[in-house]
Structure 1
Amino acid sequence: MKLYKLIIGLSMGCAVSLTACKDIIEIEPEYQRAGSSKGFSTLNEHEFALTGAYALFRASGYYGNGTHNTGAWAALPDMMADDLVQTVEDFGNWNTQANWTYAADEADIELSWVAAYSVIAQANLTLRNIEQFEATNPKRVNRIKGQALAIRAMVHFDLLRFWGESYERTATALGVPYKTTVDVEDLPERLSVKETYDHIFDDLEEAELLLADVDNVMNTATNRAYIDQTATHALLARVHLYAKDYEAAENFASRVIAVIPLANQAGFSGIWQDIYPANAEVIWKVTHSAGEGNVGLGIHIGSANRNLFRPATHLEATFNKPNDIRFVSYFGSRESSSNAPVYPGGSGAPGNRRIVTKYLGRGTTLDNLTDWKVLRTGEMYLIRAEARAKQGGAKLVAALADLNALRAARIRNYVPVVIGDEQALLEAIALERRKELFAEGHRWFDLKRSMRAISRPDVEVASASVTLTPAAREWAWPIPQGEIDVNPNIVQTTGYR
């Protein structure tokens, strides 16, 4: 599918399919046509378009779910790695991704490609000609424009994470097309990884400045639905970590940590049930309401008691099971009968199926309907710890302090450890990332950016792939064949035809 085709009618389609976009359908049709030379005539229309961009994150190819599927940037990266195990109960919807057998004509890869560029197109529609209002309402323009720029940057970075042939900051390897306009005649080519990063940082840095001077408070302690300046700092911390600019990653993570502390042990489990105490650590979340996609359907279908992916036994073994509050929040057991209860943590009768309880639903419901937590302070501690450890020297002490601080927040009666060796500390931080960020869409990318192999010691399906070497082509996804067919300027990922 041509990228420019995603723009035409996008807001209208968003309004039809996603209830939070309802107001967009009321905008005059000529303003929705990508080919129109007019653009929006009021800031309200720009605001509606921005709402549409947020709503599109709930698409089944992004953070939302279709029937029994999971979004590409939700739990799929964990299914593709080694901490979630495909079971014999799985429908096979993401079988090609989980077992790295994808090709250019894979429909679900195109679904993810289209979902991402749909968000980008909506962000660009929001940005189009918004400068005309700067003189009369500069702070509101800053708020709208800053969010749209941050969204555009983040989504291109997510595309780079799957399709980029390298994460090195100055790499000439293939990156992704970077869309900044709503030009219907545009046939974008793939930029280099360096050029892709350049655009991402340009957008994030401009967004960070704009969001420092806005017309109203965007988020509260109990509602984190918007990308504000703090969320932009968190995105900058994440991107700088991938780019191996460790000093910048440390600095931006520190700015987030200073504003949004870790959840206390009593409040941690509420994060996954959408119960937000005042000190919870959600930085930005994509909200889901009834009918807008169910986050956990791709792992364990609570209402039908179907276990598609279970936690790997080797991962569960790394937890301090009696004391780690993450263990009881993330894992459980359940018998196979349709109305069987869920036993959190390690409880339940012997022989029960191990399940992921992280996304079962709000409170005691089992409908898999929860918000997707895109950014959390727990990740920021791990970013800062890794960035400090990578800088070495005197920073190792601070890196260890971050690791101990996060563990103390998660493990009852935790006794701080002493790790004097840099490599041993980095390995401890990497393990903590696996535990802390389990099933949050990080594991595949963490393995890719550290150029590590995948070796699955725990498999259940006989046809499951077991190993993937660091040099394998499958670390970068193929450009969808539909895009190749209609866009003569785009180049296929190395190794695919």
Structure 2
Amino acid sequence: MKIRQIFLGVGLSFALVLSSCESVIDIEPEYAKEGAEIFNNLDEYEYALTGAYAQFRQIGYFGSGGQTTGTWSTLPDVMSDNLVQTGEDLGNWASQANWNYTSDESDIAIAWIAAYQVITQANLVLDGIDRFADENPERVNRIKGQALAIRAVAHFDLLRYWGEAFDRNSALLGVPYKTTVDKDDMPARLTVKETYDNILKDLNDAEALLGDVDSEPNTESSRSFIDLTTTRAILARVNLYAEEYAEAARYATLVIDEIPLASRAEFPAIWEDESVAEVIWAVSFNAGEGTPSGGVHNAPSNRNRFRPSLPLMETYAEQADVRYDSYFGTRSRADVERPIVAKFVGRGTATDNLVNWKVFRTGEMYLIRAEARAMLGDIVGALADLNALRAARIAGYVPVVIATQQALLDAIALERRKELFSEGHRWFDLKRTTRMIEREDCGTNAINCTLEPDAREWAWPIPQGELDANSNIRGQQNPGYSS
């Protein structure tokens, strides 16, 4: 792939003119308008923003095909100790599952391109919109704020796979930060610190803008857009990775105050899209738009490519924990019962993997605040958050007392693994806390079962096509990979 395709691979996506932006976000754009054409009014910017959200559904980002899993949806669990490759898998993403990828691998390039397509679309929305600020400042704020947050979250996701480190002030290499629609702008990799600087600037600007809008992007029944609360959830996650714990806790608290945890009665309905309880932001998927999870348990074909880890399943209180039946199930094939990931099977009684992808939930915010508080030495506050989350999930739960910081951090890490199972967190949690992967349940198809904390594979290789096409990034390959 050439750099122009990587950075400029998507035109301005438009949707049919409907009654409101809320009614078009779930519809695949009907046609595309080239970025070189000029937007003449805010309606066109509105529809271009819809196109930016649509890009999250592509294969290579949250979407998966019949044989592939979403790069930022279920793949991080495939690459960890949460999911186990089975003999039913067709071999897609096998190199990721076994950590033997190379810089010329197409799946790595597809993921890189997918993120920059989202970024390109966000930049197109941002290009020239300020000229309408006097005409309708609150509407401009709403459109621009969402585009800035989209650009930030896509760059952060790139940093999670390709960054050499997560420390806030690290001089190691992060990712190129693309802020223009100029086809000749081929940025080099920034340091991790510089990457964070750009991400946080975009998010802080988005937070300010989305606090003064003409209308709220979301409704009580839909969380398809990034609003002020979503932006703060993104900031909570980013600050946790950056080890800015006071800010992580502050932003998590702001989100928790707005969107409470789901009750045990509500929780199962989240996974069938019958409820948006505790959903902060979900990428919408509808018929014909792919699915976010078909590469794990492909429900229509009953192909169980990756099953849940048995030792992980044993950590749940099967009868008392509402997550157990929400997350796991069994399904037979050739008269053999197999454990499956059931949380993405479909809506209602459907078995088509067609569900919205929950990018942020309040459960994560409790865990972010718990970890941040523990790292700040607030053992009482951290333990209160851990117990509150468990009480919301486990019937008859009796709060525990944990006296030491390390024991509490270990308990929080386990709870993150349980709460956020197969939601795209486990690989990154292990990476950011420099833990070893030791697959107790490695199955019979895996090649590698252990990954040391200092292994090169924690950072993906920059795609060879990018290195070939962009002279500014040559010599910036991640350590251990050929360029």
| Structure 2 Cα separation of the partners of residues 19 and 249 of structure 1 | 31
**Match of residue 126 from structure 1:** 125
Q: Secondary structure at the match of 1:91?
A: coil
| Structure 2 Cα separation of the partners of residues 372 and 3 of structure 1 | 29
Change in CA separation of 1:15 and 1:489 when aligned onto 2, cut-off 3 Å: farther
2:315 to 311, 314, 318: 318
Q: Secondary structure at the match of 1:353?
A: strand
Question: Percentage identity across aligned positions?
Answer: 58
**Match of residue 146 from structure 2:** 147
TM-superposed CA distance for 1:24, in Å, is 5.2
For residues 193-224 of structure 1, give each alpha carbon's deviation from its aligned partner in whole angstroms, at most 9, with x where no partner exists. 00000000000000000000001121122100
**Match of residue 325 from structure 2:** 328
Deviates more, 1:268-277 or 1:382-391: 268-277
After TM superposition, the runs of 4+ consecutive aligned structure 1 residues lying more than 4 A away are: 6-9, 12-16
CA contact (8 A) 1:14 1:56 kept: no
Q: Secondary structure at the match of 1:186?
A: coil
| Structure 2 Cα separation of the partners of residues 408 and 3 of structure 1 | 50
Q: Counterpart amino acid of 2:203? A: L
Change in CA separation of 1:475 and 1:8 when aligned onto 2, cut-off 3 Å: closer
| Structure 2 Cα separation of the partners of residues 373 and 332 of structure 1 | 20
| Structure 2 Cα separation of the partners of residues 165 and 43 of structure 1 | 39
| Structure 1 Cα separation of the partners of residues 2 and 47 of structure 2 | 25
**Cα RMSD (Å) of the superposition?**
1.6
Change in CA separation of 1:290 and 1:301 when aligned onto 2, cut-off 3 Å: same
CA contact (8 A) 2:28 2:54 kept: yes
CA contact (8 A) 1:159 1:176 kept: yes
**Match of residue 305 from structure 1:** 302
Q: Secondary structure at the match of 1:20?
A: coil
CA contact (8 A) 2:278 2:363 kept: yes
For residues 239-261 of structure 1, give each alpha carbon's deviation from its aligned partner in whole angstroms, at most 9, with x where no partner exists. 00000000000000000000000
Q: Secondary structure at the match of 1:266?
A: coil
User: Does residue 420 of the first structure (1) align with residue 403 of the second (2)?
Assistant: yes
2:29 to 16, 22, 28: 22
TM-superposed CA distance for 1:296, in Å, is 2.0
TM-superposed CA distance for 1:6, in Å, is 4.5
| Structure 2 Cα separation of the partners of residues 417 and 374 of structure 1 | 29
User: Does residue 461 of the first structure (1) align with residue 444 of the second (2)?
Assistant: yes
2:343 to 332, 351, 358: 358
1:475 to 453, 458, 471: 458
**Match of residue 5 from structure 1:** 5
CA contact (8 A) 1:75 1:441 kept: yes
TM-superposed CA distance for 1:274, in Å, is 0.4
CA contact (8 A) 1:4 1:183 kept: no
Change in CA separation of 1:445 and 1:257 when aligned onto 2, cut-off 3 Å: same
CA contact (8 A) 1:53 1:123 kept: yes
**Match of residue 433 from structure 1:** 416
**Match of residue 347 from structure 1:** none
**Match of residue 348 from structure 1:** none
| Structure 1 Cα separation of the partners of residues 448 and 382 of structure 2 | 35
Q: Secondary structure at the match of 2:11?
A: helix
TM-superposed CA distance for 1:301, in Å, is 1.1
For residues 153-201 of structure 1, give each alpha carbon's deviation from its aligned partner in whole angstroms, at most 9, with x where no partner exists. 0000000000000000000101000000001111210000000000000
For residues 128-156 of structure 1, give each alpha carbon's deviation from its aligned partner in whole angstroms, at most 9, with x where no partner exists. 01110001110000000000000000000
Change in CA separation of 1:198 and 1:318 when aligned onto 2, cut-off 3 Å: same
Q: Secondary structure at the match of 1:293?
A: coil
For residues 21-79 of structure 1, give each alpha carbon's deviation from its aligned partner in whole angstroms, at most 9, with x where no partner exists. 42553xxx5xx244x6xx32111111111110000000010001122211100000000
2:379 to 396, 417, 431: 396
CA contact (8 A) 1:88 1:460 kept: no
CA contact (8 A) 1:300 1:309 kept: yes
2:362 to 377, 380, 386: 377
| Structure 1 Cα separation of the partners of residues 477 and 9 of structure 2 | 28
Change in CA separation of 1:12 and 1:198 when aligned onto 2, cut-off 3 Å: closer
Change in CA separation of 1:4 and 1:462 when aligned onto 2, cut-off 3 Å: closer
Unaligned runs of at least 5 residues, structure 1? 341-350
CA contact (8 A) 1:2 1:187 kept: no
Matches within 5 A, 1:246-325: 246-276=245-275, 280-325=277-322
For residues 348-404 of structure 1, give each alpha carbon's deviation from its aligned partner in whole angstroms, at most 9, with x where no partner exists. xxx621111010000111100000000000000000000000000xx2101100000
| Structure 1 Cα separation of the partners of residues 157 and 181 of structure 2 | 20
- The aligned length equals 472
Q: Counterpart amino acid of 2:454? A: A
**Match of residue 117 from structure 1:** 116
| Structure 2 Cα separation of the partners of residues 215 and 2 of structure 1 | 40
TM-superposed CA distance for 1:2, in Å, is 3.9
Q: Secondary structure at the match of 2:333?
A: coil
CA contact (8 A) 1:408 1:414 kept: yes
**Match of residue 345 from structure 1:** none
| Structure 2 Cα separation of the partners of residues 369 and 245 of structure 1 | 36
Q: Secondary structure at the match of 1:85?
A: strand
CA contact (8 A) 1:50 1:144 kept: yes
**Match of residue 238 from structure 1:** 237
User: Does residue 229 of the first structure (1) align with residue 212 of the second (2)?
Assistant: no
| Structure 2 Cα separation of the partners of residues 273 and 417 of structure 1 | 32
Change in CA separation of 1:21 and 1:41 when aligned onto 2, cut-off 3 Å: farther
| Structure 1 Cα separation of the partners of residues 3 and 180 of structure 2 | 11
CA contact (8 A) 1:24 1:52 kept: no
Change in CA separation of 1:19 and 1:364 when aligned onto 2, cut-off 3 Å: closer
TM-superposed CA distance for 1:19, in Å, is 7.9
| Structure 2 Cα separation of the partners of residues 442 and 412 of structure 1 | 25
| Structure 2 Cα separation of the partners of residues 136 and 19 of structure 1 | 28
| Structure 1 Cα separation of the partners of residues 481 and 213 of structure 2 | 46
Q: Counterpart amino acid of 2:27? A: A
CA contact (8 A) 1:24 1:48 kept: no
CA contact (8 A) 1:104 1:480 kept: yes
Deviates more, 1:2-11 or 1:238-247: 2-11
Change in CA separation of 1:461 and 1:13 when aligned onto 2, cut-off 3 Å: farther
Q: Secondary structure at the match of 2:348?
A: coil
Q: Counterpart amino acid of 2:416? A: R
**Match of residue 64 from structure 1:** 63
| Structure 2 Cα separation of the partners of residues 117 and 151 of structure 1 | 11
**Match of residue 352 from structure 2:** 367
**Match of residue 486 from structure 1:** 469
CA contact (8 A) 1:63 1:74 kept: yes
| Structure 2 Cα separation of the partners of residues 24 and 137 of structure 1 | 27
**TM-score, reference length from structure 2:** 0.95
| Structure 1 Cα separation of the partners of residues 227 and 413 of structure 2 | 28
| Structure 1 Cα separation of the partners of residues 445 and 234 of structure 2 | 39
Q: Counterpart amino acid of 1:294? A: T
**TM-score, reference length from structure 1:** 0.92
